[in-house]
Structure 1
Amino acid sequence: MEVIDAILIGIVQGLTEFLPVSSSGHIEIAQKLLSADNLKENEELLSVVLHVATALSTIVVFRKDIFDIIKGILSFKWNEDLQFVTKIAISMIPAAFVGLFFEEELKQLFEGNLLLVGSMLLITAALLFFADRAKNTGKKVTFSNAFFIGVAQAIAILPGMSRSGATISTSVLLGNDKARAARFSFLMVLPLILGKIAKDFLDNKVVMSNDLVMPFTFSFIAAFITGLVACTWMIKLVKQSKLTYFSIYCIIVGLIAIIWSLAS
């Protein structure tokens, strides 16, 4: 793998993991554009590296929140922090179920299916459009909300469906405060990512040959830095109700992907 290809993939992952435009969809498109043969061969390993980078970005951005949550849990009281963690746990159930029982079926969807990617991007666009027009409230995410947001996260496993777009939009459409929706969306995915990374290590999927060390290192750095920027930027955009711009972007890219798929 060329270093420049790895850096570009890292930038795409870092930006699209947090911006509501689907990281999986854009990675599929980027792979088509780059036509890097060994990119597909090392796709699982690269996915682990990139997700470690974006998970680290999330931890850095929300370090104060995470510290406060841990401190609240250690007080061993049914306080707001322990309730928040319980809601996170509830939100993980749908995606964990899909990941455990439909892993092989999901892998088949990530085979350069640009028609699916384009279609899911259009659905993402619709969600963002309606969520941007919802009123901002001071409402917190409830336990029942957490489950439905988790369902949205499970559906967003499909390539082309934005995880952050689906979860934030679902949360906002359920009547939750936009800033709280963004915070919950970014923190709810951390346990899933860290759990998936741990599983990949235990399954010995993280084995890197010497020729991949340099490109993957650059890819990691690119994903981490762009992830920091995108995560911070996204929180501000949600508060300012500027998701419509991403809705328009998803429509354009989605239509291009569909036309490209049908023409090829």
Structure 2
Amino acid sequence: MQDFINAIILGIIEGLTEFLPVSSTGHLILAGDLLGFEGDAATTFKIVIQLGAVMAVLILYWKRYMDILKGLVSLNFREKKKLNAVHMVLAMIPALIVYLLFNDIIKDVLFESAAVVIGLVVGGVLMIVAARTKRKVTAEETDDITYKQALGIGLFQCLALWPGFSRSGSTISGGLLLGTSQKAAADFTFMISVPVMLGATVLDLYDSRNLLTADDLVLFLIGFIAAFVVAMIAVVTFLNLIKRLRLEWFAFYRFVLAALFYIFVIM
């Protein structure tokens, strides 16, 4: 019964943190540490339930995904100044390559509370630098993002493989440094989150297929549903919040969380 309760709690945490640049994976690892919910199955669980929250984005942006899918089917990629499948692929390839090459190292070394605390701090510093760096904005809207900027954002997304760094935090920071507005970077981040998390979930489930039991899959389903329901309730508010608030505010929250966890748990 305790595992089911843990799955619900972690699902709620995931739904509340996925769309903010505070690292949902980092929160899940820290919460799992406090709840005693650890091990190989727990690590896979923390990856899988992120897809539940991200599916809320699929519903919110379904028209944009349909436009991209139509362009992909018709092989229409000539409109470089309109978001299309090429932008999505360029943004996903770097993290996919790094994940395939270093997945075992990432799980063994970075899915630890101490590594998460460091990731929260370093990611927060990157966000402050990105927010305060003066740059010329060349992409006010998502459709203004170039292929070069999409690839650059994809390279910054590699940092998100370090739990605690945050996918949205790293990609939005990257977008700001590469000349996009915060709104455009946030929208693009949410758009690429669905295929990225879908791919990560499928790959991780396949890699962990021999470690999982039927009971584990039930826990995954419970966490997935909890994350999806909470995310559907929170998604609109949080998406607007991340587009308007300066990244420094989220960075300060990360610093406080890292300090509290270090003082009361790690020390």
CA contact under 8 A between 2:140 and 2:181: conserved in structure 1? yes
Alignment match of 2:236 (pick from 214, 232, 239): 232
Q: Tell me which amino acid in the other structure corresponds to 1:168.
A: I
Q: Which amino acid aligns with 1:93?
A: I
How far residue 33 of structure 1 moved from its aligned partner, in angstroms, is 1.1
Q: Percent identity?
A: 31
1:143 aligns with 2:147: yes
Counterpart-to-counterpart distance in 2, 1:99 and 1:237: 30
Q: Distance in 1 between matches of 2:129 and 2:146?
A: 21
User: Which residue does 1:195 correspond to in 2?
Assistant: 199
| Contact 2:30/2:113, CA 8 A, preserved across alignment | no
Q: 2:29 aligned with 1:28, yes or no?
A: yes
SS for the counterpart of 1:14 is: helix
Task: State the alpha-carbon separation in 1 of the partners of residues 47 and 210 from structure 2.
Answer: 8
- Figure out how many residues of one structure are paired with residues of the other and give that number: 260
Please name the residue that 2:62 is paired with: 63
**What is the TM-score of this pair, normalised by structure 2?**
0.84
* Shift in CA distance, 262/221, structure 1 to aligned 2, threshold 3 Å: closer
Partner AA of 2:120 in structure 1: L
Task: Give, as a single letter, the amino acid of the residue that structure 1 aligns with 2:45.
Answer: L
CA contact (8 A) 2:71 2:85 kept: no
Letter of the 2:166 counterpart: S
Query: In the alignment, what sits opposite 1:259?
Result: 263
Q: Does structure 1 residue 104 correspond to structure 2 residue 104?
A: yes
SS of equivalent to 1:205: coil
Q: Which amino acid aligns with 1:123?
A: V
Which piece of structure 1 moves more, 161-170 or 78-87?
Answer: 78-87
RMSD value, Cα: 2.8
Shift in alpha-carbon separation, 1:189–1:198, aligned structure 2, 3 A = same
Structure 2, unmatched stretches of 5+, are: none
Once structures 1 and 2 are overlaid, which stretch shifts more, 122-131 or 142-151? 122-131
C-alpha change, 1:108 and 1:209, in structure 2 (3 Å) is closer
**Structure 2 equivalent of residue 79 of structure 1:** 79
What amino acid is the match of 1:90? L
Does 2:184 correspond to 1:185? Answer: no
Who is 2:249 aligned against?
245
Unaligned segments of structure 1, at least 5 residues: none
If the length of structure 1 is used for normalisation, what is the TM-score?
0.85
